[in-house]
């Protein structure tokens, strides 16, 4: 039978209907659902091809529509570790969401959050927000650690002993890296201070927490020199990269965090006075920074000629469908792509590389540590010194010869 050129092809070329199994009756509706969510044809084709891998596995493992939630949970460890394992899982997750929205399967009850499961963690979270102004992202990190502490030591803090706390911290340190060990110390100490402040624990218990080596003995962090900064900015030239150029300039000229760029909203920009409000970073404080002309011009170009129409207060949005506000992970991906285009090799690849580069550039151009700390919005000078360690090359440039000795 000759092909009908007017008939729209629904099934991707490499996906046969026989591989869909229990999903076959709902496949065309799934495609239309993806299209309504502004997924591109190329993305839909890729997702549905890997969707066949997922439905094949589900069918072979004995799962169907009635057990699809359990099946998806079982498929995660089955696919993890395989090449591009996230694509079958992503397509499966979207299909489950489609079925739930269409009323074909009942939505699975959302599991309780750690704060709901352990009331003491919920109280700790509220106390930290109210008394310390800690952001949600930091509290999420703390909570991921404190869940293990409550599980190991129990929900009765009056029964906690110095020995048990010390053993918990040491156990976490021996099975994780140095960064996690330090975060365990920070989270545990904050939790114990909360317990003391609310009368649940005697003071001094936090002294049992062991200390780990600090940053002072660590090697110099990665940063880009002036030439590399110019190259990464140049790698974002052109009308198709107006967003990328604006994001990169916010990072390298103002030293913003990736999350601060992602959370920038139109109401945060004071065009009349040439400044921007920074919200959503590590601090809950509203802080203002001047908007340099170069950064402002790049932002205006993006808003005028590059930003798609999207009903969101966020300034920066993704460039591909489905369009949505950028996340800090999207900002990191943008930085990595710009580094690749510029041919820059660096051990650190995310937005924080550019934040540290901004701090180092300020130091090299004569700004003192207090000035750098003001731009980076650090509360203490010691924090600034972590970001802007002075290397020997800079010291040799500005150091005078020792008295009585000739210069080398």
Which among 245, 377, 378, 389 is annotated as catalytic?
378
Neighbours of 298 (CB within 10 A): 24
Which among 26, 352, 364, 389 is annotated as catalytic?
352
Q: What does the alpha-carbon distance between residue 105 and residue 172 come to, in Å, rounded to a whole number? A: 40
Which among 132, 200, 282, 314 is annotated as catalytic?
282
Q: What does the alpha-carbon distance between residue 354 and residue 357 come to, in Å, rounded to a whole number? A: 5
Q: In this structure, what token pair is assigned to residue 356?
A: 């540290």
Is 282 assigned a catalytic role? yes
Is 19 assigned a catalytic role? no
Which among 253, 257, 356, 364 is annotated as catalytic?
257
Is 72 assigned a catalytic role? no
Q: What does the alpha-carbon distance between residue 241 and residue 319 come to, in Å, rounded to a whole number? A: 10
Which among 53, 243, 253, 355 is annotated as catalytic?
355
Q: In this structure, what token pair is assigned to residue 232?
A: 């990464």
Is 377 assigned a catalytic role? no
Q: Are 344 and 350 in contact (CB under 8 A)?
A: no
Is 117 assigned a catalytic role? no
CA dihedral 70, 140, 130, 200 (to 10 degrees): 80
Is 352 assigned a catalytic role? yes
Which among 39, 63, 302, 387 is annotated as catalytic?
387
* Enzyme catalytic residues: 257, 282, 352, 355, 378, 387
């Amino acid at each position: 039978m000759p092909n009908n050129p007017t008939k729209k092809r629904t099934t991707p070329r490499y996906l046969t209907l026989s591989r869909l199994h229990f999903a076959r009756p709902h496949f065309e509706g799934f495609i239309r659902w993806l299209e309504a969510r502004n997924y591109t044809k190329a993305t839909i084709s890729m997702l549905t091809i890997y969707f066949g891998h997922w439905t094949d596995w589900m069918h072979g493992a004995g799962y169907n529509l009635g057990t699809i939630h359990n099946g998806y949970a079982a498929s995660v460890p089955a696919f993890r570790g395989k090449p591009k394992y996230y694509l079958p899982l992503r397509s499966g997750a979207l299909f489950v969401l489609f079925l739930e929205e269409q009323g074909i399967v009942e939505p699975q009850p959302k599991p309780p959050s750690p704060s709901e499961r352990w009331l003491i963690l919920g109280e700790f979270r509220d106390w930290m927000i109210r008394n310390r102004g800690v952001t949600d992202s930091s509290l999420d990190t703390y909570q991921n650690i404190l869940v293990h502490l409550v599980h190991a030591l129990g929900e009765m803090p009056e029964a906690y002993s110095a020995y048990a706390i010390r053993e918990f911290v040491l156990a976490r340190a021996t099975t994780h890296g140095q960064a996690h060990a330090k975060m365990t110390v920070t989270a545990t100490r904050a939790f114990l201070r909360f317990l003391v402040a609310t009368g649940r624990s005697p003071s001094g218990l936090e002294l049992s927490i062991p200390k780990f080596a600090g940053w002072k003995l660590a090697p110099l962090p990665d940063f880009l020199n002036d030439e590399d900064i110019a190259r990464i900015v140049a790698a974002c030239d052109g009308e198709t990269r107006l967003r990328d150029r604006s994001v990169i300039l916010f990072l390298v000229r103002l030293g913003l965090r990736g999350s601060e760029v992602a959370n920038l909203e139109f109401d945060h920009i004071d065009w009349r006075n040439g400044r921007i409000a920074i919200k959503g970073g590590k601090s809950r404080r509203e802080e203002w920074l001047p908007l340099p002309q170069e950064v402002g011009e790049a932002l205006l170009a993006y808003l005028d000629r590059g930003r798609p129409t999207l009903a969101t207060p966020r300034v920066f949005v993704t460039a591909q469908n489905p369009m949505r506000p950028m996340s800090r992970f999207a900002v990191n991906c943008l930085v990595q792509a710009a580094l690749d285009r510029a041919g820059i090799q660096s051990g650190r690849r995310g937005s924080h590389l550019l934040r540290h580069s901004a701090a180092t550039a300020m130091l090299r151009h004569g700004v003192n540590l207090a000035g750098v700390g003001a731009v980076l919005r650090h509360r203490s000078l010691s924090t600034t010194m972590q970001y802007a360690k002075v290397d020997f090359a800079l010291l040799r440039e500005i150091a005078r010869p020792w008295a009585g000795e000739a210069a080398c």
